[in-house]
Amino acid sequence: MTAERLSCDVAVVGAGPAGLAAASAAATAGASVICLDAFGQPGGQYAMQPTQAGSAFAETSAVLSGQDAAQQAAAAGAKILCGAEVFWGAPVPGGFCLSVNRQGSALAVEARAVVVAAGAMERPLPFPGWTLPGVIGAGAAQRMLKTGSGALPMTGSTVLAGSGPFLLAVAQSFARAGQPLDHFVEMQRPSLTGLTGLFMRHPDRVFEAMRLGRDLRGTGATRHFGHIVTRAIGRDRVEAVEIAPLDGSGRPDMSRTTRIERVGTLAVGYGFQPVIDLTTALGAAHDFDAALGGWHCRADDDGATTIPNLWAAGETLGIGGAAPAQLSGRIAGGAAAAALGFPADDTAEPRKRVRRARAFAAGLAALFPMPRHLPLELPDDELICRCEDIRAGDIATAIAEGAHESFAVKTWTRAGMGPCQGRICGAGVAAALARAGIPSETASYNRAHLPLRPVPLPLVRDAMEAQNQMETRA
């Protein structure tokens, strides 16, 4: 088989708030645009679309905003392809070649410019028992509520645990779905003065925050602020969860643990990290900033990365929420088209708004400082790498013997070589390096390799053949 081929002026990777805005802006300027997304429907995380008629989420402003954004992009002439996952990207003369798994067939997209708006994912921090079935990401629980029948399928109690504003958003989804939530465990106790200060500076967000608090109470969950999950317990699935209060030094007080019994689901979230597999594969520079979720793609105010005609938008540039993501997409999409000679849009207004929206996100992030690692001892036999079953002890040994970089840990132990390519174990490896006193800048990140996401071998072959032809074409 040969790969199907498409070409365009601007290819946008990701159809979340940032990608859809970028596609609209570039298409409005006159560029031909293809916008690709791995999910079945446009919207990304924020505007995730329900699959069931009559879903409690069908009429939320987020869902409607996603439909609007997709319609606008399509009306401007952008071609949106869903179920299309980019598994490689490479420079070719005159632009880039993106290799895509389109529902099991290879597609090669040749584009003069690329905007990467790949969004964010949860930063999974390992803790004792985290690989037990029934322990899932907080985002996974939310996705199931939003895109499923609205009820979690597992029997037993549900515990939502971790830290950060997103936990409140997930609790809100439970409230909206009418799904019982039994326990809410938040590591921090955000300071009241900090909260008041933030909302005095951003009074437009007060209502939203009050609603989050009200909905958390509405779930009926027992709330444990200043507590952390110290252990998930079970044989073949999670059965109980142990939690402990954090003492003045930020460590769990193990003399005061509580055991929550008959647990069916433990949904955990300790914040987000940018999805940077494609931008690292394309060789763009990345920077570390804990407040932005760690490693993120470097870009100027327009979204220009360090690679000519490669742009980035949304949370690939750092965690900040849907509002700045959408605005940064509009700016980057317009700038990408303008750099190819299409008329430039006036972006003074979105630039002003993006600064303000980012300031709110930064203020909120400062109130919930994200841990680099959890204040828990990981037993040597606890897994850090789920793909290859690599234990904390193996990784500690590698670090003690001189592996002081994510890449060195990977070649030494294989953590990061499995199908997740370090997207999941990367945070655990970084946490182990941080514990050993190695600064994040030295620890660096896992650079992606072909294929970014597992795909059947014939697809890789077909796509690479198309890429080679583009590379060698006179």
Partner 1 sequence: MTMIEIEIDGASVVCREGLPLTEVLMSGAPSWRRSPKLGAPRGMFCGMGLCFECAVEVDGTWARACLERTRAGMRVRTGEGDI
Ligand X SMILES: Cc1cc2nc3c(=O)[nH]c(=O)nc-3n(C[C@H](O)[C@H](O)[C@H](O)COP(=O)(O)OP(=O)(O)OC[C@H]3O[C@@H](n4cnc5c(N)ncnc54)[C@H](O)[C@@H]3O)c2cc1C
Q: Is the distance from CB of 93 to CB of 473 less than 8 angstroms? A: yes
Q: Which region among 43-51, 180-188, 220-228, 420-428 touches ligand X (by CB under 6 A)? A: 43-51
Minimum CB–partner distance for residue 28 and partner 1 (Å): 30
**Among candidates 5, 65, 7, 16, which has minimal Cα distance to 312?**
16
Q: Is the distance from CB of 416 to CB of 409 less than 8 angstroms? A: yes
Which of 23, 47, 121, 240 is close enough to bind partner 1 by CB under 8 A? 121
Q: Indicate the residue among 3 and 120 with the shorter CB distance to partner 1.
A: 120
CA–CA distances in Å: residue 186 to residues 242, 447, 464: 14, 32, 46
In 189-261, at which residue ranges do the beta strands (DSSP E only) sit?
Answer: 222-225, 227-233, 240-245, 258-260
Minimum CB–partner distance for residue 286 and ligand X (Å): 15
314 binds, among partner 1, ligand X, none (CB under 5 to 8 A by kind): ligand X
Q: How remote is the C-alpha of 42 from its chain's centroid?
A: 16
Minimum CB–partner distance for residue 140 and partner 1 (Å): 3
Asked whether position 321 contacts ligand X by CB under 6 A, the answer is yes
Task: Please state, in angstroms and rounded to a whole number, the distance separating the CA atoms of residues 242 and 260.
Answer: 6
Asked whether position 26 contacts ligand X by CB under 6 A, the answer is no
Q: Kindly give, in sequence order, each residue whose CB lies less than 8 Å from that of residue 320, ignoring residues fewer than 6 positions away.
A: 292, 357, 358, 361, 362
Q: Is the distance from CB of 104 to CB of 249 less than 8 angstroms? A: no
Asked whether position 457 contacts partner 1 by CB under 8 A, the answer is no
Which of 17, 66, 124, 271 is close enough to bind partner 1 by CB under 8 A? 124
Q: Which region among 32-40, 58-66, 164-172, 180-188 touches partner 1 (by CB under 8 A)? A: 32-40
Q: Is the peptide bond before 451 cis (omega within 30 degrees of 0)?
A: yes
Window 52 to 71, contacts with partner 1 (CB under 8 A): 52-54
Which of 37, 186, 382, 405 is close enough to bind ligand X by CB under 6 A? 37
Asked whether position 135 contacts partner 1 by CB under 8 A, the answer is yes
Residues in touch with partner 1 (CB under 8 A): 38-40, 45, 51-54, 85, 104, 121-122, 124, 131, 133-137, 139-141, 143-144, 147-149, 153-154, 236-238, 264, 275, 383, 386-389, 418-420, 423-424, 453-454, 456
